[in-house]
Structure 1
Amino acid sequence: MSDIRIQKTGEPDILQTSDGRLTLSVPIQIKRRSGRKLITLPNGETAPVRPWDMTPTPLQLALARGHRWLAMLESGEATSLKEIAAREEIDNSYVSRMVNLTTLAPDIVAAILDDTLPNHVTLFDLASGTPLLWDEQRAIIDR
């Protein structure tokens, strides 16, 4: 059975016993940041943040809602945007604007998901009056 011990000092080491078992010694520290545990190596580096540990941005949440609501319409689970708004107890226009996000160019969607969209671009810029042509959408971002 393996045994894990947290060692805060020392050098990494591999020890082989006479019965063939290996003991791997890696000095690490486990720190809490925003309620999450991060592993800190002796040189001060922290392990990279995993995508599933990050809190989604408002724009990412809006994009997900838009796709979920569009899927509800396409599957027949809901018959109209008005019905979705009634179920969610929100305004019809908000549902409509979020569904507009499903027409964004793939590179813009990737930038939203990677959180690399320029800071001047807002949810309102992308959700209301979104042009259908992808080149025109990119022009909004490049302003």
Structure 2
Amino acid sequence: MSDIRIHKTGASDIIASSDGKLTLSVPIQIKRRSGRKLVTLPNGETAKVCFRDTTATPLQLALARGHHWLALLESGEIKSLKEIATREGVDNSYVSRMVNLTTLAPDIVAAILDDTLLNNIILFDLAVDPPVLWEEQWMRIKSALST
């Protein structure tokens, strides 16, 4: 912890306790603007807005559907992909492709959730017959980017 440096600026207070721990008190204000909460710092600046509360992308929605449908299957609430398709009013192959997304590599899933996967990657590239090996999944994505 010796590489941590604290510089006191503005109206923040640093209080040392008897056990050697430090407490940092920073006066902030939380204001509502257009239904969003904004944090105003002591120097009057507004903190960066986190974009995690934006509308989900189509890939994120597809991933969520796939995991939800797989959970229904695993719990026994639904007996087959065909039953999900009938219940949701969609094609069997669509349900199958969404459930295929649950086998994606964790770093690909993270890229989808963080919306950092390049825009040329489409649902078809990820959901139709995905390779079992995660390295091969990345090779498919790289291949899709080069076309």
What's 1:37 paired with? 37
What's 1:18 paired with? none
Q: Number of residues paired by the alignment?
A: 122
Is this contact kept in 2: 1:104–1:134, CA < 8 A? yes
Is this contact kept in 1: 2:30–2:37, CA < 8 A? no
- What is the RMSD computed on CA atoms of the aligned residues? 2.7
What's 1:46 paired with? 47
Bigger drift between 93-102 and 130-139 goes to 130-139
Does residue 60 (structure 1) correspond to residue 75 (structure 2)? The answer is no
Identity %: 61
CA distance in 2, matches of 1:29, 1:78: 45
Is this contact kept in 1: 2:11–2:26, CA < 8 A? yes
CA distance in 2, matches of 1:98, 1:125: 12
Runs of 4+ residues deviating >6 angstroms: none
Change (3 A) 1:125 1:13: closer
Change (3 A) 1:116 1:13: closer
Is this contact kept in 1: 2:28–2:40, CA < 8 A? no
Q: Give the structure-1-normalised TM-score.
A: 0.70
Unaligned runs of 5+ in 1: 1-10, 15-23
Task: Kindly state the Cα deviation for residue 44 of structure 1 after the two structures are TM-superposed.
Answer: 4.0
Amino acid in structure 2 at the alignment position of 1:98: M
Change (3 A) 1:132 1:40: same
